[in-house]
Chains A and B, each alone.
Chain A
Amino acid sequence: MTTRLLRFLTAVSALLIFALPARAQGVEQVDIITPHITDSHEIEIPWPTWPTLHKVIELPRWHPFTLPVIGEVDMSPTKHVIWMLIAAFTVGALLIFAANAQGRQTRAVGHSKGFAGGIEAMVLYIRNEVIIPNVGHHGNGFVPFLLTLFFFILFCNLWGIFPWGSTATGNVSVTATLAIITFFVVEAAGVRAQGLGYLNTIFYWNKDLNIVLRVLLFLILSPIEFIGKLTKPFALTIRLFANMTAGHIVVLALIGMIFAFKSIASGAPFLMAVAINMLELFVAFLQAFIFTLLSSVFIGQIREAHH
C-alpha cells in the first residue's frame, strides 16, 4: 500500500516538475509533434541545463550535388542519419561483442550464457523459426541480410523510444530504402533460383490455354503481376514508417494533454502515455520482426513461384 502511494506521489511530483516550465512559458501554442517525428539538421543531446535537460547541436550543411535521374542530392548529415549511425554502431558493437563472448564461452564450457546467450537465442530464433522455414531450402545465404535487417530496424526503433532519441525508422526515406534493398534482394533471389523462369513472375504466359485466352490473360495479368511486385516494398515502407510515426504521435499527444489539463487529471494521460510507451517498446520488436518475416516470405515466394 505504501509503495503504491509512493509511486503515485512520485508520478504526480514528476508531472508537476515537468509541467513547471510549460506554465512559465505561458499559453503560446507550440507544435511539439511535427519536429519530433520529422528529420532536421540539428540534434539534441543530454545536457545538465535546467529545466530543458538538453543542448541543441547544429549539424554541418554540405553543398548538394546533382546526380542524373535522381536530381539534387543533399548528403548533409541529419538527425536521422546520426541516429541511424548510433543504431548501427550499437548493433555492431553488441553483436560483435556477443559473438566473441559466445565463441569464448563455447570453447570454455561448450555453450554460451548470459548476454551472449540471449543474443544467440535471438539470432537462432530468427534464423530457425523465421528465415529458414519461409525462405526454404538453401536459405542460409539470406540469413545475414535478414538478420541485419532485423537488428538494424530493431535498434532504430529502440533508439526512438530513448529520451533525446529520434526514430529513423519513422522516416519514410529510411523505410523506403530498406524496402527497396529488400525488393532488389527478392528479385535477385528470383533470378538466381529460377533463371529464365523468373520472367514468368512478371509475364503471365500460360501454355495450357489456347492462344486467344493466353494473349488476353497475358495482357490483363502481366500488369497486375508487375504492380504486385511493387506493392510489396511499398507495403513494407508504409507499415514500418506508419507504425513508428503513429506510436510517437500518440505518446506526444498524450503528453501534450498532461500540460493542457494542468490539473491532477493530468495523471490519466500520463498513465496512458506510460502504457503507450510500453506498447511502443513491444511494437519496436514487433515491427522489426514483421519486416524480417515478410522479407523472408517474399524471398521464399519468388524462389518457389511456378506460374
Chain B
Amino acid sequence: MRRTLVTLSLSVTSATSLLAQEHAAATGESVNLLDPKAGLMFWTLIIFVVLLVVLSKFAYKPLLSAVEAREAALEKAISEAKADRDAASKLLAEQQKQLAETRADVQKVLADGRAAAESMRSEMLEKVKAEGADMLDRTRREMQAEKEKAVAELRREAVDLAISGASKVIGRNLDSATDRSLVESFLSGLDAPKGTR
C-alpha cells in the first residue's frame, strides 16, 4: 500500500512539472541559457551572504561548539580513564610486590622458627637425657650406700644374734671384746668363700 502511494506521488511529481509549464510556453523568443543577469547575481550574493551570516551565528556556532564541548568531555574522560588505569596498574604492581615480599618474609620466619624449634628440641632432649642419666647414677649410688648400710646392719645384728645364741648354749655371758672379734672373723671367713664362688 505504501509503495503504491509512493508510485502515485512519483507519477504526480513527474507530471505536475509538465502541467505547470504548459501555459508559459507561448513566448517564442529564443533563450540564451548562458546569459548572466546582473539582478539575479546581486540577489544571489545578498541571499548567500545573509544566509552565511545567519547560519554561522545561529546554527554552526552552537552546533559545532556543542560538538567540540562533547569531544573535549570525551577526551577528558578517556585521558582520565587512562590515568586511572595507569594508577591502578601501578598500585597493583606495588601490591603484588608487597605481597611477594610478605610471602618471602613469612617463609623466612617459618624457616627460622622451624630451625629454632629443632635446635631447642634437640637441646632439651640432650638435657633431659643428661638429667635422666644423672638421676640414674645418683639413685644407683644411693642404693649402693643403702645396701652397704643394710649389710653392715645385718652383720651387726647377726653378730649379736650369734653371740646371744652361743651364750645360751654355753650358759654364760659372752660379751667380751674377744668373743665379738671371734664371731666377726668367722663371718668375714664366710664372706671370703662366698666372694670367690
**Partner-B contacts on A (CB < 8 A):** 3, 6-7, 10-11, 14-15, 18, 21, 25, 30-40, 42, 44, 51-54, 56, 64, 67, 70-78, 80-81, 84-85, 88, 91-92, 95-96, 98-100, 102-103, 106, 110-112, 119-120, 123-124, 127, 143-145, 147-148, 151-152, 161, 163-164, 168, 171-174, 176-178, 181, 241, 245, 251-252, 255-256, 259, 270, 273-274, 277
Contact status B34-A172, CB under 8 Å: yes
Complex Cα gap A10–B164 (Å): 167
Write the nearest CB–CB distance from A288 to chain B, whole angstroms. Answer: 13
Q: Quick check: is B62 within 8 A (CB to CB) of the other chain?
A: yes
Complex Cα gap A173–B40 (Å): 6
Query: Binding site of B, secondary structure by majority: helix, strand, loop or mixed?
Result: helix
Query: Binding site of A, secondary structure by majority: helix, strand, loop or mixed?
Result: helix
- State the interface size on chain B (CB cutoff 8 A): 55
Near A by CB (< 8 A), chain B positions 40-84 give 40-45, 47-48, 50-52, 54-56, 58-60, 62-64, 66-67, 69-70, 73
A36 with B23: in contact, given A14-B11, A106-B66 (CB under 8 Å)?
A: no
Question: Which of B14, B16, B22, B25 touches A273 (beta carbons < 8 Å)?
Answer: B14
Contact status B14-A92, CB under 8 Å: no
Contact status B33-A73, CB under 8 Å: no
Q: Quick check: is B172 within 8 A (CB to CB) of the other chain?
A: no
Contact status B38-A70, CB under 8 Å: yes
A120 with B63: in contact, given A14-B11, A92-B51 (CB under 8 Å)?
A: yes
User: Chain A contacts of B1 at CB under 8 A?
Assistant: 3
Contact status B48-A181, CB under 8 Å: yes
User: Chain A contacts of B47 at CB under 8 A?
Assistant: 81, 84-85, 88
Question: Which of B35, B40, B64, B70 touches A174 (beta carbons < 8 Å)?
Answer: B40
**Partner-A contacts on B (CB < 8 A):** 1, 3-4, 7-8, 10-25, 27, 31, 33-45, 47-48, 50-52, 54-56, 58-60, 62-64, 66-67, 69-70, 73
Beyond A18-B11, A173-B38, A277-B10, 12 additional pairs, beta carbon < 8 A: A3-B1, A10-B8, A30-B25, A34-B25, A35-B25, A74-B37, A152-B48, A163-B13, A163-B16, A252-B18, A255-B17, A274-B11
Question: Which of B11, B35, B43, B56 touches A77 (beta carbons < 8 Å)?
Answer: B43
Complex Cα gap A229–B63 (Å): 34
Contact status B20-A163, CB under 8 Å: yes
Contact status B43-A52, CB under 8 Å: no
A52 with B24: in contact, given A143-B64, A174-B40 (CB under 8 Å)?
A: no
Question: Which of A147, A270, A273 touches B60 (beta carbons < 8 Å)?
Answer: A147
Residue of A nearest to B73 (CB): A110
Question: Which of A36, A44, A96, A102 touches B66 (beta carbons < 8 Å)?
Answer: A102
Contact status A245-B51, CB under 8 Å: no
Residue of B nearest to A111 (CB): B70
User: Chain A contacts of B8 at CB under 8 A?
Assistant: 10, 14
User: Chain B contacts of A174 at CB under 8 A?
Assistant: 40-41, 44
Contact status B52-A52, CB under 8 Å: no
User: Chain A contacts of B59 at CB under 8 A?
Assistant: 92, 95-96, 98-99
Contact status A99-B63, CB under 8 Å: yes
User: Chain B contacts of A42 at CB under 8 A?
Assistant: 24
A145 with B52: in contact, given A32-B21, A42-B24, A255-B17 (CB under 8 Å)?
A: yes
